Each structure stands twice: as C-alpha cells, then as structure tokens.
Amino acid sequence: MTLLAVERIKLFTTRSPWWCALVTLVLTIGFAALIVGNSNAEVPATVASTQFGYSFGMAVIMVLAALSVTTEYRFGTIRTTFQAVPNRTAALLAKTGVVATLALVIGELSAFGSWAVGRALKPGANLALTSGADWINVAGVGVIYALAAVIAVAVGILIRHSAGAIALLMIYSLAVESLVRLIPSIGDDIYKWMPFNVADKFLTGNGASNAGRAAGDGAPMSTAVLGQGWALAYFAGFALVLLVLSLSSARRRDA
C-alpha cells in the first residue's frame, strides 16, 4: 500500500496527468456531441456512435502512461525510487497499477460522459443501455483504456525515452495495424490477430450496439475472429506479456 501511495503522489503532483485527462474528456465527449448532434432519421444516433472518439482518447491515455515512466528516467528520479525500493518489480508494478487505475477511471468518465451528452442532445433517439452489447460498448471503454495504459507503461520501461516511446505507441496503434492489411495475400489474416483490432472486437462484438448506422460511426468494427470474452482475454494477455518483458528488462539494466 505504501508503494501505491508513493506512486499516486508522484503521478498527481505533475501536470501531465491532469492535462491528459482533460484532453481525453474533451476529445471523446466533443466527438460524441459532433456525431450525435449531426445524426438524423437517415443516419440515426446509436449507443456506438456516442463512442466515436474513444480511439482518440486512448491515444492520449497511452501518452499519459508512457510519460509516467519515461519522465522518471529523463530526470533521474527512477534511481532514487530503486534505491528506496530495491525490488524493482514491486516498484514498477505499483506504478503500473496506479496508472492503469487512473486510465480506467478516465475511460469510464469519458465513455459515460459521451453517452450522457448523446442522450441530452437527442432525447428521442434509441440510446438507452438495454442490452449487454450496449453496456460493453460503453463500460468496456475504461477496461480497454486500462490495458492500453499497461502496454504504454511497458513500452516506456523498455525504451525509457519519452519521444521514442510515444512515437512508437502512436505509429503502431494509429498506422501500423492498418497498414498490415496491405501485405499481399496474408495481410487480412494477420490483421485479424493484431491486438488493438482484437480490442475493438471486445467493444463492438457483432455490431449490435450500432444497429441502423454505418459501422464506422462507432468504435471500429473489428475483423477479429474471437468472441468478445476471448478478445478481452487476448488483449489482456498481450499487455501482460509486454509488461513481463519490460520488468525483466528493468531488472537487468542499469537505471
């Protein structure tokens, strides 16, 4: 508990978490207002369309998570942490837990905030959370944000440099997975197993929460072959493997 308290204090005494949280909320809720506000009878608002901006918010969350680690390496405070807590794994797990919890809270606030704005703008639209698919599409955002934060922390531990870690995370999540589909013959098959594509499958399932609207107007419809539960397990497993590799690296390398 002491380690968690220390990491919480270190995280919240810097400005970046507050700014990142604010930017995440503005982006996700702003996109919800834009998409739902422009809906009409031909292109109706749906539960999924209120979550249109979730991927943009996730990008900001990963920046926040990466900075929580790389900033310590940049200013050398990580050495003080490891001197005070020789068990590097425990110290880094505490940091990961605090950052992931913050990401979960921000994700839930942004998701339900986006949904609430949609309900306020279009009170007559079918935006009630009446099915499991609807609830997963909204409440699941926080879970994905938390796991994405774990991935970002792991990358930050491995790379240690803010610019490099952030660049890698943004390029991979926003471009690399989509570009994989351009590989002749096998690109689409590989893409079905790419982690962020699989994460989208957990949120959208078979598209039940987006009925009546184009698939692109909610969280992206996934081509992953896994069911929703297995998709979440796959993404969580990917985050866990990356974290284990980063912790192993941190124990072997000088701070």
Each residue of 177-199: pLDDT tens digit? 888 888 888 888 898 899 999 99
Given a contact cutoff of 8 angstroms between Cβ atoms, the answer to whether 137 and 46 are in contact is: no
Given a contact cutoff of 8 angstroms between Cβ atoms, the answer to whether 14 and 75 are in contact is: no
Q: Which residues fall within 8 angstroms of residue 14, CB to CB, at 6 or more apart? A: 71
Say which DSSP state 223 is in: -
Based on C-alpha coordinates, what's the Rg of the chain?
A: 19
Q: Which residue has the tokens 């949904």?
A: 115
- The two three-digit tokens of residue 100, written as one number: 């992931």
List of E strands, the chain: none
* Average pLDDT estimate for 96-101: 95
Start-to-end C-alpha separation, the chain: 24
Q: Please report which residue ranges of 160-186 form alpha helices under DSSP H.
A: 162-171, 177-180
Segment 52-75, tens digit of pLDDT: 889 999 999 999 999 999 998 888
What are the contacts of 184-192 at 24+ separation with CB within 8 A?
188/223, 191/223, 192/223, 192/224, 192/225
CA 158/CA 66 separation, integer angstroms: 10
Given a contact cutoff of 8 angstroms between Cβ atoms, the answer to whether 46 and 9 are in contact is: no
* Average pLDDT estimate for 140-153: 96
Domain holding 232, by residue range, is: 2-252
Give me the DSSP letters along 134-154. HHHHHHHHHHHHHHHHHHHHH
> Could you count the other beta carbons within 10 Å of the beta carbon of residue 171?
11
pTM for this structure?
0.91
Query: Phi, psi at residue 22, to the nearest 5°?
Result: -65, -45
Q: What is the pLDDT of residue 62?
A: 95
Task: Give the 3-state secondary structure of residue 186.
Answer: coil
- The two three-digit tokens of residue 235, written as one number: 């993404």
Q: What is the pLDDT of residue 226?
A: 86
Number of domains forming the structure of the chain = 1
Residue 39 has pLDDT above 80, yes or no: no
Residue 47 has pLDDT above 90, yes or no: no
- The two three-digit tokens of residue 207, written as one number: 């598209």
Distance of CA 51 to the CA centre of its chain: 13
Q: Which residue has the tokens 């949609």?
A: 118
